[in-house]
Amino acid sequence: MSQALDELIELLDLEAIEVNIFRGTQPDEDRQRVFGGQVAGQALVAASRTVEADRHVHSLHAYFLRPGDPTVPILYEVDRLRDGRSFTTRRVVAIQHGRPIFNLQASFHTVEDGLDYHLPMPSGVTAPEELPTYQERLEPYRERVGAWLDRPRPIDTRYAPPDHAFEPGLQTDGQLVWMRADGSLPDDPVLHACIVTYASDMTLLDTALRPSGKSSFTDDLMMASLDHAMWFHRPFRADDWLLYQQRAISASSARGLADGSIYTADGTLVVSVVQEGLIRVID
201 is catalytic: yes
Q: Is-contact 14 22, C-beta < 8 A?
A: yes
CA dist 222 → 163, 203, 206, 215, 283 (Å): 21, 15, 12, 11, 11
Q: Which of 163, 201, 239, 259 is catalytic?
A: 201
Q: What is the DSSP string of the chain?
A: --HHHHHHHHHTSPEEEETTEEEE---S---SS--HHHHHHHHHHHHHTTS-TTEEEEEEEEEE-S---TTS-EEEEEEEEEE-SSEEEEEEEEEETTEEEEEEEEEEEE--------PPPPSSPPPGGGS--HHHHHGGGHHHHGGGGGS--SEEEEEPSS--TT-TT---SEEEEEEEESS---S-HHHHHHHHHHHHTTTHHHHTTGGGT--TT-TTEEEEEEEEEEEE-S---TTS-EEEEEEEEEEETTEEEEEEEEEETTS-EEEEEEEEEEEEE--
Catalytic annotation on 225?
A: yes
| From 42, 225, 261, 272, the catalytic residue | 225
Bond prior to 235 in cis (omega within 30° of 0):
no
Nearest-CA neighbor of 12 among 193, 201, 276, 254? 193
* Catalytically active residues, by annotation: 201, 225, 275
